[in-house]
Amino acid sequence: MTSSNNGIKGLLPPSAGAGDRIRAHAAIALAKFLKTGLRIAGRAGTALPGKSALKLQPKLLPLLTENRLVYLVTGTNGKTTTVRILCTILEEQGYNVITNPSGANLDSGLTTTLIDHSKILKNTPDNKLAIVLEIDEAFFAKLAGSLNPTVIVVTNFFRDQLDRYGELQHTRDLIARGLDQTEAQLVLCADDSLCASLARGREQRSHFFGMDTSAMQPGKASGVLESGFCTFCGSRYEYKSTAYGHLGDFICPSCGFARPHPELLFTAGADPDGLVQAQQLNLSRITADGQALSVQARLSVPGIHNAYNASGAILAALLGGSDLDQLAQALPMASAAFGRMERFAVGKREVSLILVKNPVGMDRALEFVLAAEDFGSCMMLLNANDPDGRDVSWIWDVDFEDKLPQGRIGISGIRRADLALRL
């Protein structure tokens, strides 16, 4: 169904040939049949329907995403939270948003997600439809070109699951290859030297977000510094100020590569109503003529790292055509994703659930716990399943000596003995 009057172009693009259309519709029908059968059998069915559909029509992903507003989010930390915030602020502006469940970020899972929402794809006007997808770093190079992205957000790079990703430069290069398969606008963290380096050779489509340097700590941060050497010449960076980890106002004294000027600046402060699980963001968008458009907004997720996530989501929405004032009004509606600074009641107690998977993530979690005025006790669970990463040696890079909370601490999980030894 195609209509030029209401902006609805149907499920497949007009450019699709007859053969592609026949195979696509057959693939979608097969996937829906399998999904129904798996549901009856009590199974989730996030991968098999999409995998089977791609066997019939390998071009299904590009066919379903052509000429649509598509956001991709990748990077080490903050993908799920950034996607959650971006989806919320778009929905608050009236968009019908399609997104993939956390974990369904390979081609099969993405295909299943789009097929599950085929009615929305078919019947929603283009100016009211947005697709927001979280993409695993290891598979970004393979998938980016087939998803026709409008905007790509790269959150940051931190050492993570070495058994899966290898070292940081390898992960950065994987994402760089994916970027070169698209013509998407790029949203990059200015304060992360590896992330900012992705703009080299892609300057005309690169846009940066970052913390206002006036809010950073002078000099180089203590603790985990994972990207201290220049991507291009190998010299050690100098830091005028830092936010946390290796995020900060960096410059290479040898080749001159330095932190770019952000298009969207933020500072973060305490929530004016004193809410522990919220913070106030001051956001400034720097226009082409150097003027600053500034707004204030509440973010209902704590932590400076989540201020970065929110800023990346907001800049992505701006590049997609949204208005800064409207985004600021929508931001308070965004809530924590599962396990990401999630807070809930257990009996008469309040519990914060914090997922960490690398040294910098644990560093952020410990900072949050140390600052919590209502801290009572802490339970740490360390696992080593495939989704977690088998290599747990990263716990030896965490600054437990200076940041371990005072009080009762319990340990559990598959690798609890390793954690007990570390502590």
Provide the domain count of the chain.
Answer: 2
Write down which residue in 288, 306, 333 finishes a domain.
Answer: 333
pLDDT reported for residue 160: 64
pLDDT reported for residue 102: 64
Is residue 310 domain-shared with residue 414, that is, in the same domain? no
| Residue 184 covered by a domain | yes
Write down which residue in 298, 333, 368 finishes a domain.
Answer: 333
Cα distances from 48 to residues 38, 111, 305, 351, in angstroms, run 9, 10, 35, 36
Is residue 240 domain-shared with residue 149, that is, in the same domain? yes
Domain carrying residue 361 = 340-422
| Residue 260 covered by a domain | yes
| Sequence-ordered alpha helix ranges (H) in 57-189 | 60-65, 79-91, 107-116, 118-123, 140-143, 162-165, 168-179
Is residue 243 domain-shared with residue 178, that is, in the same domain? yes
pLDDT reported for residue 222: 59
CB 137 within 8 A of CB 75: yes
Is residue 199 domain-shared with residue 268, that is, in the same domain? yes
Is residue 239 domain-shared with residue 381, that is, in the same domain? no
| Residue 409 covered by a domain | yes
Q: Which residues contact 412 (CB under 8 A, 6 or more apart)?
A: 379, 380, 381
| Residue 166 covered by a domain | yes
pLDDT reported for residue 209: 98
Is residue 164 domain-shared with residue 135, that is, in the same domain? yes
- In order, the DSSP letters of 153-216 are EE-------HHHH-SHHHHHHHHHHHHTT---EEEEETT-HHHHHTTTT-GGGEEEEEE-GGGS
> Which residues are bridge partners to 279 per DSSP?
270, 299
| Residue 176 covered by a domain | yes
Is residue 189 domain-shared with residue 253, that is, in the same domain? yes
pLDDT reported for residue 116: 94
Is residue 314 domain-shared with residue 390, that is, in the same domain? no
What are the residue numbers of the active site? Answer: 391
Cα distances from 183 to residues 70, 138, 152, in angstroms, run 12, 20, 10
CB 154 within 8 A of CB 187: yes
| pLDDT tens digits for range 115-164 | 999 999 998 887 899 999 999 888 999 999 999 999 999 999 987 654 44
Instruction: Give percent helix, percent strand, percent coil of the chain, each to the nearest 5.
Output: 40, 20, 40
pLDDT reported for residue 1: 34
What residues in the chain have per-residue pLDDT under 50? 1-6, 162-165
Is residue 260 domain-shared with residue 352, that is, in the same domain? no
Is residue 327 domain-shared with residue 217, that is, in the same domain? yes
Which CATH number fits the domain that encloses residue 328? 3.40.1190.10
- In order, the DSSP letters of 257-313 are -BPPPPSEEEEEEE-TT--TT-EEEEEEEEPTTS-EEEEEEEESS-SHHHHHHHHHH
Is residue 194 domain-shared with residue 213, that is, in the same domain? yes
| Residue 44 covered by a domain | no
Nearest residue to 362 via CA among 402, 320, 316: 402
CB 328 within 8 A of CB 209: no
Is residue 196 domain-shared with residue 320, that is, in the same domain? yes
> Which residues are bridge partners to 132 per DSSP?
71, 99
| Residue 19 covered by a domain | no
pLDDT reported for residue 219: 82
| Residue 13 covered by a domain | no
Write down which residue in 275, 308, 333 finishes a domain.
Answer: 333
